[in-house]
Structure 1
């Protein structure tokens, strides 16, 4: 089982401080903004993390020769500020588990409040967002456990609730693993998140595509059934996955991948569906794992863990990483106002602090 291991000190001032965690989202703007703040405040790195699901990254600060790694922890006792910096994305299929481990660690440290930073694709703004006084962002999401004084402060500073989430509980396109971090902080386990994600994806999916995915599952299960004939459990398996004797594998494949359905279903989605189905026990009345898992998540589930006092701050960014540095500066300046930091943020020597392996131009900062 993958683990999140910490190597470093845990000062007494860590408890009760404010934790900031970036999501891996559009343009990596959150990471860039936090690196700007870390450099401007000269924050002390008190330790680093190693997670089996996160590929290692090593880079060097140009002016000091200091080595930076994939997962680092910074702390400023005077500002009561703690930053969990993430410079490498988890391997495919491990995002939910990684997010759960981060939030479990945060719960164990007793932070007073937690902020998630994220960026959304600027091309998917609504007309209302484009025409607003802050077209570049300044949106937030507040969990019910978020401190009321912080929610009021954001509103006073001109921040607005993210319209998509306020109206439909949807996140902006391009927010990356923010969904995983949000639900982990809300107290949902990895198994619960898999069920919730599948239910959300199936909710708006056309019926024909649902049938095609269900057929794809039956085809895969039928092939597995043939491979396991020697084990003597093929009959039970056929009943479990809802395969009838009258069904023809070739007909299923023709309809799935032939002229009746083109292009084939998204492979990443099918993988997520199959993972969710394997963790859900089908009911006797279900005709397929897809239907069984969908019905099992129709009722609202209660989180298994305590919810963190969480606020999410978002800005808009380009998916092509254009103007990442400019957007990061804007985001960092807005954060200074939110947290009431007394130190002045100066950006005259931005490229002197940047890890040399990460920056060769503004568009390639991250």
Structure 2
């Protein structure tokens, strides 16, 4: 702020707000008509030149208007952006889409509702990351598919059903599959996956005493099928509204950057990285362009906030990813409220 007087600040703010609204450069003649003070286009150009020297704006073409740089957008978000509270109507609409009144509905419904709502409310894609730590085990079953393959069926406490195929050790019998499933159901029912994994570690001696080697191996494989990563790491990414990101893409360069973004979203390791970004601070975090190291090559911005369970453990994140000209002041309070709502829903379902 030290390099900006009131006049420079107003011109800079108008350039950024025009960019966020239209994506187009703003010229000195148009700016002079918008300003509350009387300034000629020549005077506006002089101020623009100073703002360029500060690295806050740039000219995309010769004789064109000005656009904010990435540094300028960060400066605007930190120094100028006013984030207001959501209205009662906006809160009710988010409640309706994320948690439509069915208290017994599984968290899965809220996850899908939240991602869809954030997508429709922004120019970007709505995303929700969810861990499996908020799912309580109800029943596990092994179904043989062939001598070398079996289907592991997991039923959650809200009757969510997920299936995974695992390879079987040579010589595995049907009775060993039953024994492994019976052990898991007897000792792990009512636990989260992370809690069940911890219990397996504590019961290793009991497992060896009660089961043979192959059945013991199946017990660990059955849990590892869903864990898939370290405790507390995310298991799934729900993205809605990818088509929003394609709107207004009119050149090959931007299309290539979008392809990079879509590729990044498909990578499993991206899930842990996004959650790490959300965990790095309190409340909503904003990453603009290359600040977002996960998607820096695509030039995308990410607005993300964590949500927690009733024990205040971070179990996921909600957010919006899109172009750098996202409507930050509108999206930030929506992401914040959605994260709070997801925390309440996750707490009720524990």
Is the shorter-chain TM-score for this pair beyond 0.5, marking a shared fold? no
TM-score by length of 2: 0.21
Larger Rg: 2
If asked which structure has higher relative contact order (CA below 8 Å, sep 6+), I would say: 1
TM-score by length of 1: 0.20
